[in-house]
């Protein structure tokens, strides 16, 4: 909900507030008196270190007819010392103005770096040159049922608050906007509206999830996005090379700290300067890199032609390497000599459930049943039967303007998307309505397009959305999906 907010409240947030409850969090003395050591538990010590890295987020709508903005509150965590904030996308959705309040009461504006509704993730950047204290991301692959956790956030706008609990469930699904977020963590720590986007922190002081909270009138199941999902999705969300138009020629394993090279392009800048798979990049231009995502942060303000001085470890050997960022290779629209018409060509298949391995390749090897042209991705109109069938769509996608495009492909069951003959999104397998995303920089024009989909048992769904820049995501219009007559 967006309560109405007047200008004086906005100024109050920006100018800062006294720490209130937090005033006693940062010191072992209260009101000038030493605290009994028995009260200085490991939890108290952990919170003293973690709470300064949690923020309150105020998202302001555009002014209404009455000239007033409306505001909603949420939470976030500091991802990097340069002021990057990690939060949930729905916290800042439809909010052209965002103000962040630090735990010490200081308020400042924040700019939107990237947002992805498909994964309910967003990155903000504080408008400040002062370094801030990050909350390190941990891992969620080894979480144990019953291990203690805390949720830190701003429930119902009362201010930063800590609630404790345990890990009570793993690998949950959460429905959101008709699709499911996978690999969620369930905790017994109370999560209220306003906690959304804030961290779930383990006893070691590492963030292991992002709290999500839906409607205030619904029960809270204590669900959060697992941090391994966050780590894996950050490179897609930030899409640094696509946004900044350069190439490094390497990828980093998002689950390994410090940044460790997972793959190299044979002709890319990284291979040319002697880097190898398995090398660990521990510093860029003298700035230490401790976490895999620090590599992404180090690239945020770079341009093609910039030379980076890397400190690299191979085994027990350390060396210095200079990596020069190359120009990005732009995706080029295709020259189509004939006039295109609305609709995609399709071919349907059906297959036997016996021996089916729940993969697209197996489904598309079934018997061809029909061909034709259909507007949009209307599988209900062309499916050969209710279950155990597949559809292949072919045609062209019209890109209206040059921009960074975030494509979100949601399906129940498996699907994948190709543009220009290259894979963009892989969402294969037997699963509920899960969304996967891919980010590209595209020039205006038409690109060859292929989509593949199969339905096993149960519900069937297929949808394709695009997000142009940081605008709101929308379904790809039927008029943008074309074919040669």
Q: What is the pTM of this model?
A: 0.89
The neighbour count for residue 234, using CB atoms within 10 Å, is 23
Q: What pLDDT score was predicted for residue 22? A: 34
- How far the first Cα of the chain sits from its last, in Å, is 48
**For 32, how many CA atoms within 13 A lie in the half-sphere containing its CB?**
0
Alpha carbon distance 385, 477 (integer Å)? 26
Give burial (CB, 10 Å; 0-12/13-18/19+) of 37: exposed
Alpha carbon distance 352, 473 (integer Å)? 37
Q: How confident is the prediction for the chain on average, in pLDDT? A: 90
Q: Output the six-digit token pair for 348.
A: 């349907």
CA dihedral 158, 163, 169, 171 (to 10 degrees): 50
Q: Is 17's pLDDT higher than 70?
A: no
Q: What pLDDT score was predicted for residue 307? A: 98
Q: Output the six-digit token pair for 251.
A: 């990828």
C-alpha angle with apex 434: 431 to 376, nearest 5 degrees? Answer: 105
Alpha carbon distance 449, 437 (integer Å)? 16
120 is catalytic: yes
Look at residues 119, 51, 120 and name the one whose alpha carbon lies nearest to residue 92: 120
Helix (H, G, I), strand (E, B) or coil at 152: strand
CATH architecture, domain defined by 341-483? Sandwich (2.60)
The neighbour count for residue 296, using CB atoms within 10 Å, is 24
Q: What pLDDT score was predicted for residue 23? A: 32
Q: Same topology for domains 4-126 and 148-231, yes or no? A: yes
- Measured in whole angstroms, the distance separating CA 136 from the mean position of its chain's CA atoms is 17
370 is catalytic: no
Q: What pLDDT score was predicted for residue 351? A: 96
Residue % of the chain over a pLDDT of 90 = 80
Helix (H), strand (E) at residue 156: none
Q: Output the six-digit token pair for 61.
A: 């709508």
Which of 179, 196, 408, 415 is labelled catalytic? 196
Which of 82, 120, 412, 428 is labelled catalytic? 120
Domain boundaries, given as residue ranges, for the chain: 4-126, 148-231, 240-327, 341-483
Q: Is 26's pLDDT higher than 90?
A: no
Q: Is 218's pLDDT higher than 50?
A: no
Which of 77, 90, 179, 292 is labelled catalytic? 90
Q: Output the six-digit token pair for 111.
A: 């700019």
Spatial contact of 288 and 136, defined as CB atoms under 8 Å apart: no
Q: Average of pLDDT values for 216-220? A: 52
Q: Is 160's pLDDT higher than 80?
A: yes
Coarse DSSP helix, strand, coil percentages of the chain, rounded to the nearest 5 percent:
15, 45, 40
Q: Output the six-digit token pair for 266.
A: 């044979």
Q: What pLDDT score was predicted for residue 393? A: 98
The CATH classification of domain 4-126, taken from the options 1.10.3720.10, 3.40.50.1820, 2.40.10.10, 1.10.260.40? 2.40.10.10
Q: Average of pLDDT values for 419-444? A: 95
> DSSP for 297-325?
HHHTT--TT-EEEEEEEETTEEEEEEEEP
Chain segment 123-141, per-residue pLDDT in tens: 999 999 999 999 999 999 9
Most distant CA pair in the chain, distance: 83
CATH architecture, domain defined by 240-327? Roll (2.30)
Q: What pLDDT score was predicted for residue 16? A: 41
Alpha carbon distance 139, 185 (integer Å)? 12
431 is catalytic: no
Does domain 148-231 fall into CATH 2.40.10.10? Answer: yes
Least confidently predicted of 24-28, 156-160, 245-249 = 24-28
Chain segment 243-263, per-residue pLDDT in tens: 999 999 999 999 999 999 999
The neighbour count for residue 190, using CB atoms within 10 Å, is 15
């Amino acid at each position: 909900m967006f309560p109405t907010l007047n200008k004086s409240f906005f100024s109050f947030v920006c100018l800062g507030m006294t720490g209130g409850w937090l005033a006693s969090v940062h010191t072992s003395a209260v009101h000038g008196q030493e605290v009994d050591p028995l009260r200085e538990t490991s939890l108290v010590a952990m919170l003293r270190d973690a709470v300064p890295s949690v923020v309150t987020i105020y998202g302001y709508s555009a002014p209404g007819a009455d000239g007033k903005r409306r505001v909603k509150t949420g939470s976030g965590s500091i991802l990097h010392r340069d002021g990057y904030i990690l939060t949930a996308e729905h916290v800042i959705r439809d909010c052209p103005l965002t103000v962040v309040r630090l735990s010490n009461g200081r308020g400042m504006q924040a700019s939107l770096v990237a947002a992805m509704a498909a994964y309910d993730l967003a990155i903000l950047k504080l408008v400040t040159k002062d370094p801030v204290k990050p909350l390190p991301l941990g891992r969620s692959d080894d979480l144990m049922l019953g291990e203690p956790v805390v949720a830190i956030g701003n429930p119902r706008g009362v201010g930063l608050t800590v609630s404790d609990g345990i890990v009570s469930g793993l690998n949950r699904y959460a429905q959101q906007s008709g699709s499911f977020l996978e690999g969620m963590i369930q905790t017994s720590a109370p999560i209220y509206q306003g906690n959304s986007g804030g961290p779930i922190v383990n006893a070691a002081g590492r963030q292991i999830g992002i709290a999500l909270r839906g409607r205030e009138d619904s029960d809270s199941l204590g669900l959060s996005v697992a941090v391994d999902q966050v780590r894996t999705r950050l490179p897609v969300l930030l899409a640094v090379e696509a946004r900044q138009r350069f190439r490094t020629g390497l990828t980093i394993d998002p689950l390994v700290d410090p940044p460790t090279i997972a793959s190299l392009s044979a002709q890319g800048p990284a291979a040319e300067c002697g880097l190898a798979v398995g090398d660990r990049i521990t510093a860029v231009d003298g700035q230490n890199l401790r976490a895999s995502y620090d590599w992404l942060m180090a690239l945020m303000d770079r341009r093609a032609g910039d030379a980076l001085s890397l400190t690299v470890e191979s085994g027990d050997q350390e060396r210095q390497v200079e990596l020069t960022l190359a120009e990005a290779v732009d995706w080029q629209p295709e020259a189509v000599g004939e006039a295109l018409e609305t609709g995609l060509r399709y071919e349907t298949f059906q297959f036997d459930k016996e021996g089916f391995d729940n993969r697209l390749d197996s489904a598309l090897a079934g018997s061809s049943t029909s061909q034709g042209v259909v507007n949009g991705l209307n599988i209900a109109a062309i499916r050969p039967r209710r279950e155990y069938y597949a559809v292949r769509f072919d045609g062209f996608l019209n890109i209206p303007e040059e921009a960074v495009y975030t494509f979100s492909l949601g399906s129940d069951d498996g699907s994948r998307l190709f543009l220009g003959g290259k894979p963009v999104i892989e969402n294969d397998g037997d699963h509920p309505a899960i969304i996967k995303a891919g980010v590209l920089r595209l020039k205006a024009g038409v690109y060859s397009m292929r989509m593949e989909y199969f339905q096993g048992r149960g519900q069937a769904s297929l949808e394709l959305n695009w997000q142009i820049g940081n605008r709101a995501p929308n379904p790809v219009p039927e008029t943008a999906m074309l074919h040669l007559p």
